[in-house]
Amino acid sequence: MSTRISSSAAPRFGRLIDRDQPVTFTFNGAPLQGYAGDTLASALLANDQMLVGRSFKYHRPRGVVAAGAEEPNALVGLGRNERFEPNQRATTTELFHGLEAQSQNHWPSLNFDIGVLNSKLFSRFLTAGFYYKMFIHPRPFWKHIYEPFIRQSAGLGKAPDTELKDADTYEHFYFFCDVLVVGGGVAGLQAAKSAAASGAKVLLLEQNAYWGGRAPVDGGLIDGEAPEVWIEKTRADLAALENVTLRSRCMGAGIYDHGYALGYERLTDHDPKLFGPRHRLWRIRAKQIVTATGAVERPLSFAGNDVPGVMLASAMREYAVNWGVLPGQRILIATNNDDAYRTALCLQDAGAEITCVVDARPNGGGALMEEVRARGIRIETGYAIKKVQDGKRVHRVALCAQDSDGTDFEEVDVDAVAMSGGWSPVVHLWSHCGGKLIWDETQAHFRPDADRAPTSHDGAGFVWAAGSANGDMTLQGAVSDGAHAGAKAAEAAGFSAQMPDAPNCDETVEAALLAVWSMPAKAGIKLRMKTWLDYQNDVKVSDVQLAAREGYESVEHTKRYTTLGMATDQGKLSNINGLAVLADSLGAEIPQVGTTTFRPPYHPISMGAIGGEARGEVFQPLRKTPIYSWNDKNGAHWEPVGQWRRPFAYVRDGETVHEAVNREVKNTRENLGLLDASTLGKLVVKGPDAGRFLNMMYTNMMSNLKIGKCRYGLMCSENGFLVDDGVVARIDEDTWLCHTTTGGADHIYSHMEEWLQTEWWDWKVYVANVTEQYAQIAVVGPNARKVLEKLNAQANGGMDVSKEALPFMEWRDGTIGGFDARAYRISFSGELSYEIAVPASQGAAFWEALIEAGQEFGVMPYGTETLHILRAEKGFIMIGDETDGTVIPQDLGLNWALSKKKDDYLGKRAHGRSHMQDPDRWQLVGLETLDGSVLPEGAYAVGGGYNGNGQRNTIGRVTSTYYSANLGRGIAMGLVKHGPKRMGDVITFPGTDGTEYHAKIVDPVVYDKEGEKQNV
């Protein structure tokens, strides 16, 4: 069984835990106890909880395999309600009082799982590429059989309740440094020390809560002392330096272009009672980066290598040394290298019986093996594990000769298996931004190729790998390499660094490993089907071999076909073993097959950290018009329009939104309506070439507009599509004011700047976006003039707003009711209408003056929905309703606004393309339902026949549809094939609810066709 090592028997074990501080937590509701300093994984193992979850596809029992970020199995759901989070690694979760963990992927319980039948009944269907194969034959089976079955059993963990909001806060943090060192092991500490000695500003990040990485676990001496001593001294020295920043619990997550890097700091995960943000995302700009990210041990590929109790040899040693946990009492060790012998020595010291060391190398190893042999431990060289017997934990293992198919075997009873297949440098960060790798034949791993480092703005490398992340697997190598990388990085960052003396290390020399990709070497299919490569995604040796047989030769294709390395651990343990199997199946060398692409982040980071502070009200800025407060106090039902909030309608007590809209629609036509139109874009275009420039921007002529007059204009993109519209006013000889749509203001401003700066840069024109400098109010309805005249009378004078002095489509500057005003006689409603701009600071006062003076004329404010209905009654188009980026002015019957006198304007050449002149283009018409009902938004009209997908052919669609209170029925506009030639025809719009709507094609203008109401 798995136990805590007694401190009296073996006091040196458990260096990170505090046995005086017990910590209680629950696993699947059962209360358990650990110690301060434990990880969830070490505490579970101390409680003999070997089974921690079920696998993804086959629901096989799974236990802890590793001790760090590379852990594929021990994923749990943590916390509850608004703090619930699935798929958290038990190995990187620090234990705290009251921690609640639930195991995943099982039903009804962890111990008895019905889904395990997948493994027994369906495993031959769930082979490589099963999704792709299942999708095809027979088609009806997918919907009724495969899909429900897969839905039920697939998926890692369960998603948090979508109704709940994350209770924690998160933040972003910006940091700039000369040298960033990722990894606080001995190589990283030494690199930071060497870089800092040059005076460079250094940031050192360590993902764990403790410093020094594996060195205290692996042993040896640094400067004649235990590694812990040197680690603590170096850490303290660095902490004392002003030019060094140290952060533990902060993982280097990714390296990007030009020295950008992300750090992921977990501030309160280890103690949720702490105040402040839970995670902090460090957005780092570093001139140079050292990746001292260590190495991870590889599993060995033998049958049953996923049974709980089979662990990495290095992880077992780590659990013993760091947390005082012994994962078994009778332990078998399987290896292809010398390092695993350290585990034999360590675990025996901790009190375990080492049943046997199975060494695949025909002649075994070197000094470490001899040390183990001298203790009387059984060692078998040229030997292999044939198979670990299935179950919820290890209880029996079959051994055989490595160079065999396992026919002859012996069985031993053990309760844990430690395996070591060699070490792979963590090259992820090196590779994120394009660093290349070379295959190291001796150590059987990929390591960074220093000659092909990721390059920065100057074309030179900016990343230095150091220590075991660089393939230097010895203690001395790691420290020396760290010193070298730190000094080189500082030098490249512009500091003069001296090559420092690295400390001297003592350690036992290791014999060479033997690359072993299959145990035993000639394992048959029955064994290979039980030999796991990717634990998290349940990919076996047989799956990769099948993929190779089916022609998946590219490693990237094999990855996607088999899902090898695609889970949340991104194949940290499985990649090299998988590549080796693929290479072997293809008869190729491993370096020819190559690796898949390493993408950031190294380890999953929380969505909360990515979002940072940008949530809720501060997700994006909110733009408010000068009349916002009045609107808010007077029943505004808000509608988001880009970053603006506009009143959709002003709802009175006892009224529905729909009723409010109907009231506003009628009142504006019958009495007086006010619209807050301040969001309308206002661009001043000024200069000697402004007229010439606007002639290019607009489809119609703007240079000949008379001072004091207004003109409606259309803007197209260079490829001919209608992008914006609005009224342009000529202010003086070289000044025009262009109104844009609310959503188009910033975009059109940029559009003008782009053409001015990049195409017609010698034209003398300035553009200024003055949208927010003015409040603009539309005064609309039969009583519009009366209220303005009343205000002027009250102020003893003001602008003459009579029909003669201010005719339709003209503007005047002056005062109205004592306010500085520019009044435009323009109308988007068909009513007598003035749009009046006043300085933003006077907007609220002017609005209130209009409301007060308008009482006797029946004034009511109206919102955007009424604006839309009034314009639709008049057949006026709306950008974004009648247009969608594929519509040209000709589709909307706006040919009159396309100048024939101008040689050129944006979109003119495009309108000459064949598709733009196609007579079959859908064109704007009005649509009138036969029963007066309102057509559904976006509904399509159907013609005869079916298309290739078996869908009914479409001949048009609804672009705008409303209930008109003025007409007492639904009104709509739409684009219909040959529409203008089909007036009076009835066409059919199927609804999504099975009903059909029948509408007659009519003129889009359905109210006051002669325009008598606005010309008064």
Partner 1 sequence: MLILKCPYCGVEAEETELTAGGEAHLKRFGPGSSDDEFHDYLFTRENPKGVHFERWRHANGCGKWFHAARCTQTLEVFGTYSAQTTEPPQEIKDKIAAKRPGWTWREFS
Task: Find the shortest distance in angstroms from Cβ 283 to partner 1.
Answer: 9
By CB under 8 A, which span of 50-58, 219-227, 724-732, 907-915 interacts with partner 1?
907-915
Q: Does 280 participate in binding partner 1 (rule CB under 8 A)? A: no
210 vs 763, beta carbon nearer partner 1: 763
Whether cis (ω within 30° of 0) applies to the bond prior to 601 is: yes
Nearer to partner 1, 753 or 996 (CB): 753
Helices 541-549 and 555-562 pack at an angle, to 10 degrees, of 120
Contact with partner 1 (CB under 8 A) among 912, 944, 968, 984: 912
Q: Which is nearer to partner 1, 459 or 945 (CB)?
A: 459
Among 21, 109, 750, 1015, binds partner 1 (CB under 8 A): 750
Q: Distances from the Cα of 685 to the Cαs of 690, 825, 826, 829, in angstroms? A: 6, 20, 20, 27
- Candidate ranges 151-159, 449-457, 583-591, 592-600; the one touching partner 1 (CB under 8 A): 449-457
Residue 900 engages partner 1 in binding (rule: CB under 8 A): no
**Contact status: 896 vs partner 1 (CB under 8 A):** no
Q: Interface with partner 1 includes 82 (CB under 8 A)?
A: no
User: With binding defined as CB under 8 A, does residue 918 bind partner 1?
Assistant: no
The site that binds partner 1 (CB under 8 A) totals a number of residues, namely 30
Which residue lies nearer to partner 1 by CB, 458 or 617? 458
CA 839 to chain centre: 42
611: contact with partner 1 by CB under 8 A: no
By CB under 8 A, residue 587 contacts partner 1: no
Residue of 28, 404, 719, 890 interacting with partner 1 (CB under 8 A): 719
Is 623 near partner 1 (CB under 8 A)?
A: no
Give ∠ CA 652-657-661 in degrees, rounded to 5.
90
Give 112 or 761: the residue with its C-beta nearer to partner 1. 761
Piece of the chain touching partner 1 by CB under 8 A; list 125-133, 152-160, 253-261, 516-524: 253-261
Choice from 761, 796, 901, 1012 touching partner 1 (CB under 8 A): 761
Instruction: Select the residue interacting with partner 1 from 20, 458, 732, 920 (CB under 8 A).
Output: 458
Residue 124 interacting with partner 1 (CB under 8 A): no
Least distance between partner 1 and beta carbon 773 (Å): 17
For residues 419 and 305, the answer to whether their CB atoms sit within 8 Å is: yes
Report the run of H or E that residue 191 belongs to, with start and end: helix 186-197
Between 257 and 813, CB nearer to partner 1:
257
- For residue 241, the SS3 value is coil
Candidate segments 242-250, 836-844, 850-858, 912-920, binder of partner 1 by CB under 8 A = 912-920
* 144, 457, 706, 901: which one binds partner 1 (CB under 8 A): 457
Among 459, 551, 587, 944, binds partner 1 (CB under 8 A): 459
Measured from the CB atom, the residue of 81 and 757 that comes closer to partner 1 is 757
With CB under 8 A as the contact rule, which of the stretches 95-103, 218-226, 457-465, 810-818 interacts with partner 1? Answer: 457-465
Among 111-119, 165-173, 288-296, 451-459, which window interacts with partner 1 (CB under 8 A)? Answer: 451-459
Strands 75-78 and 99-103, by their bridges, are antiparallel
- Whether omega for the bond prior to residue 108 falls within 30 degrees of 0, making it cis, is yes
Q: Which of 80, 97, 133, 285 binds partner 1 (CB under 8 A)?
A: 285
481: three-class secondary structure by DSSP: helix
The answer to whether residues 534 and 571 touch, using CB atoms and an 8 Å cutoff, is yes
Which of residues 353, 753, 856, 937 is near partner 1 by CB under 8 A? 753
Select 291 or 456, whichever has its Cβ closest to partner 1: 456
Q: Which CB sits closer to partner 1, 453 or 548?
A: 453
Task: Provide the minimum distance between the beta carbon of 679 and partner 1 in the complex, in angstroms, as a whole number.
Answer: 21
Taking the C-alpha atoms of residue 453 and residue 456, their distance in angstroms, rounded to an integer, is 9
Write the CB contacts of 127 (distance below 8 Å, at least 6 apart in sequence): 542, 543, 546
Q: Residues 621, 626, 627, 631: what is their CA dihedral angle, to the nearest 10 degrees?
A: 20
Contact window for partner 1 (CB under 8 A) among 217-225, 518-526, 608-616, 750-758? 750-758
Stretch that binds partner 1, among 235-243, 252-260, 440-448, 925-933 (CB under 8 A): 252-260
The amino acid at 779? V
796 part of the interface to partner 1, by CB under 8 A: no
CA distances from 280 to 250, 335, 370 (A): 9, 40, 49
Residue 62's contacts (CB-CB under 8 Å, 6 or more residues apart) are: 51, 52, 53, 54, 55, 73, 74, 306, 308, 535
Identify the residue among 271, 410, 441, 754 touching partner 1 (CB under 8 A). 754
d(CA 804, CA 787): 17
- Per-residue tokens: 830: 């068909």
Kindly state the helix (H) or strand (E) to which residue 975 belongs, with its residue range.
strand 969-977
Kind and range of the H or E element at 639?
Answer: strand 636-641
Give the separation between CA 94 and CA 924, rounded to whole angstroms: 64
Nearer CB in complex with partner 1: 6/719: 719
CB of 908 to partner 1, least distance (A): 5
User: Which residues, numbered 407-436, are part of the site for partner 1 (CB under 8 A)?
Assistant: 433-434
Question: Is 946 a binder of partner 1 (CB under 8 A)?
Answer: no
| Shortest spacing between CB 884 and partner 1, in angstroms | 19
What is the spatial distance between Cα 913 and Cα 909, in angstroms, rounded to a whole number?
A: 7
**How far, in Å, CA of 204 to CA of 190, rounded?**
11
Q: Could you tell me if 753 and 746 are in contact, meaning their C-beta atoms sit under 8 angstroms apart?
A: no
901 lines the binding site for partner 1 (CB under 8 A): no
Query: Among 567, 529, 564, which Cα is nearest to 119's?
Result: 529
Query: What helix, strand, coil percent values describe the chain, rounded to 5?
Result: 30, 30, 45
995 binds partner 1 (CB under 8 A): no
Residue 762 or 1010: which CB sits closer to partner 1?
Answer: 762
Q: Of 197-205, 327-335, 513-521, 747-755, which part binds partner 1 (CB under 8 A)? A: 747-755
- Name beta bridge partners: 25: 32, 99
Tell me the sheet residues that pair with 833.
780
Q: Which CB, 719 or 933, lies closer to partner 1?
A: 719
Q: At 851, is the secondary structure helix, strand, or coil? A: helix
Q: For tokens 């709940």, what's the residue?
A: 164
Q: Is position 451 an interface residue for partner 1 (rule: CB under 8 A)?
A: no
- In the structure, how many helices (H) and strands (E) does the chain have? 26, 51
Closest distance of CB 424 from partner 1, Å: 27
> Is there binding between residue 818 and partner 1 (CB under 8 A)?
no
Residue with smaller CB distance to partner 1, 434 or 839: 434
Residue ranges of the alpha helices (H) in 7-160? Answer: 40-46, 117, 130-136, 139-141, 147-153
Residue 613 found at the interface with partner 1 (CB under 8 A): no
Q: Based on CB atoms, which residue is closest to partner 1, 286 or 516?
A: 286
Q: Where are the alpha helices (DSSP H) in 841-972?
A: 843-854, 864-873
Q: Which of 133, 121, 76 is nearest to 99 (CA)?
A: 76
Chosen residue from 122, 142, 146, 260 binding partner 1 by CB under 8 A = 260
Tokens representing 893?
């019957």
Q: Based on the shown chain and the rule CB under 8 A, indicate whether residue 758 belongs to the binding site for partner 1.
A: yes
Cβ proximity of 367 and 552 under 8 Å? no
CB of 761 to partner 1, least distance (A): 4
Phi, psi of 614 (to 5 degrees): -75, 75
What type of residue sits at position 924? L
980 upstream amide cis, omega within 30 of 0: no
Which residues contact partner 1 (rule: CB under 8 A)? 256-260, 285, 433-434, 455-459, 718-719, 750, 753-754, 757-759, 761, 903-904, 908-910, 912-914
